[in-house]
């Protein structure tokens, strides 16, 4: 599990770059087909990350991944951090950092 470099800022820097690139193209060529493609990309990335990648990493790396996900944002720094479960309670990552 890589947690340094760009992965220390966001958990999915490659997907973030893909979305930023297609968003730029959408601004350059603002037509319905490009906007539809952008929406499909965002939906596909969300499905891949939330339903496939994150559950797999949580199974493989357990508590180490949970701690990483609690401190690093999903696509943007600090945004989309995972909730932390402590003593049977679900807490937001922001309140459980201390």
Helix ranges, the chain (H): 13-28, 32-47, 54-61, 63-71
Higher pLDDT, 78 or 20: 20
* Residues whose CB falls within 8 Å of the CB of residue 19, separated by 6 or more in sequence, listed in order: 41, 42, 45, 75
- The average pLDDT across 53-74 equals 92
Contact call for residues 18 and 43 (beta carbons, < 8 A):
no
pLDDT digit string, tens, across residues 26-45? 999 889 999 999 999 999 99
Instruction: Specify the pTM.
Output: 0.74
Q: What's the confidence (pLDDT) of residue 95?
A: 42
pLDDT value for 84: 61
């Amino acid at each position: 599990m890589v947690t340094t470099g760009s992965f220390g800022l966001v958990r999915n820097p490659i997907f973030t770059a893909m979305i930023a690139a297609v968003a730029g193209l959408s601004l350059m060529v603002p037509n319905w087909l490009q906007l539809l493609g952008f929406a499909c990309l965002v939906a596909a990335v969300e499905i891949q990350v939330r339903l496939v990648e994150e559950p797999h990493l949580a199974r493989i790396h357990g508590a180490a991944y949970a701690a990483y996900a609690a401190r690093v944002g999903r696509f943007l720094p600090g945004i989309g951090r995972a909730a932390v479960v402590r003593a049977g309670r679900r807490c937001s990552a922001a309140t459980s950092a201390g």
